[in-house]
Amino acid sequence: MILVTGGTGYIGSHSVIELHNEGYDVLIVDNFVNSSPSVLKHLKTITGVDFNFLQVDLCDYEQLKDATKNYSIEGVIHFAAFKSVGESVDLPLKYYNNNIQSLTNVLKLCEEREISNIVFSSSCTVYGNPESIPVTESTPIGKAESPYGKTKVFSEEILKDFHKSSSKTICNLRYFNPIGAHESGLLGDYPDGKPNNLLPFVTQVAAGLREKLSVFGDDYNTKDGSCIRDYIHVVDLAKAHVNAIDYNKRNRKLYSVFNIGTGVGVSVFELLSTFEKVNKTPVKFEISKRRSGDVGAIYADCQNAAKKLNWKAKLNLEDMLSSAWNFQKKIEK
């Protein structure tokens, strides 16, 4: 059984489906801070399975320990974390407390229960503003531009120290910018309140729920002045986590790191024009000042994942944008 923390969240829920598709039993742990109980219903509709679920605050170790004591757990995928770059700048202590405490509690559980297969949800934010792109796994980390990014840097350091002391098998997935939705239209990036990521904002503006999109900066040193990111379909990303669990099984006691992206840099303006073209829907926007914590451009070199994880992104930008719009339209019905 694989314990999936944050398993009702955006990436976690899609990963639960992919784990199930590959024959794994799944135990979901979440507290619904970044998600909704309705996700469990949608997971059952998609898979036909009532997944084991525990509503737990990962910052409370005794609660986590007690809730999971009757389950036989062979591996952990740790997604659960606060994830807004912008909010982390305003509320750094909230991010340091939650993201670090939840990780150390999960690792303590792995130590006590002798769970050796660990996959961690890291982020390209650990690279900060890289000197050159694409970034490889050997690109220096530690110069994160936001408290959120710093929590991922600190988490990776904690995991490295834990690996040295315990010989657990640990795989760090540094993923880039997940977007898109499940083909059913039942699961996607559904923010509670104001969106923190670009695409949910785009779809809400397109749906008439918001007046216009704010593009944060058009004066970056990029091809059109807007930020460049490596957007990856959430389903491709979810499949990478299954591959990582399998990779850990084949490589006991190894500590590994993989970039998970497409290797293609897409600007904000390119994303907007592609969205309008694919979905035949206009998106009104305005140029705003740069947002604190944002980097100008970043995209991945994913050759290591292709070679060792046997993983490669298969879905393109058009797939991502059409699936996200399909999800948004289903929400409104």
Q: Which amino acid is at 326?
A: N
| Res. 293: pLDDT tops 90 | no
Cα-Cα-Cα-Cα dihedral of 163, 164, 169, 171, to 10°?
60
pLDDT attached to residue 271: 98
- Top-confidence residue, 191 or 51: 51
| Res. 86: pLDDT tops 90 | no
Q: Is residue 322 part of a domain?
A: no
- Top-confidence residue, 269 or 197: 269
Q: Which amino acid is at 22?
A: E
| Res. 150: pLDDT tops 80 | yes
| Res. 196: pLDDT tops 80 | no
Residue 101 CB coordination number (10 Å) = 15
| Res. 224: pLDDT tops 90 | yes
Catalytic residue, from 148, 175, 220, 231: name it: 148
Q: What is the mean pLDDT of residues 119-145?
A: 93
Is 96 marked active-site?
no
Q: Is residue 238 part of a domain?
A: yes
| Res. 194: pLDDT tops 80 | no
Q: Is residue 251 part of a domain?
A: yes
What is the share, in percent, of the chain residues with pLDDT greater than 70? 99
Q: Is residue 205 part of a domain?
A: no
Task: Supply the range of the domain harboring residue 22.
Answer: 2-179+231-261
Q: Is residue 53 part of a domain?
A: yes
Domain CATH number, residue 120: 3.40.50.720
CB 198 within 8 A of CB 268: yes
Q: How high is the mean pLDDT of the chain?
A: 96
Q: Is residue 286 part of a domain?
A: no
Instruction: Give the least confident one: 38-47, 195-204, 279-288.
Output: 195-204
Distance (Å, whole) CA 235 – CA 17: 9
Q: Is residue 25 part of a domain?
A: yes
| Res. 195: pLDDT tops 90 | no
Q: Is residue 296 part of a domain?
A: no
Question: What would the pLDDT profile of 233-257 be if each residue is shown by its tens digit?
Answer: 999 999 999 999 999 999 999 999 9
Instruction: Give the least confident one: 61-65, 66-70, 147-151, 193-197.
Output: 193-197
Three-state secondary structure call for residue 319 = helix
| Res. 157: pLDDT tops 70 | yes
As given in the structure block, the two tokens for residue 94 are: 């909230």
| Res. 331: pLDDT tops 70 | yes
Question: What would the pLDDT profile of 264-277 be if each residue is shown by its tens digit?
Answer: 999 999 999 999 99
User: pTM score > 0.75 for this model?
Assistant: yes
Q: What is the CA radius of gyration of the chain?
A: 19
| Res. 333: pLDDT tops 70 | no
CB 216 within 8 A of CB 294: yes
Number of independent structural domains in the chain: 1
In DSSP terms, 214 is beta-bridged to 286
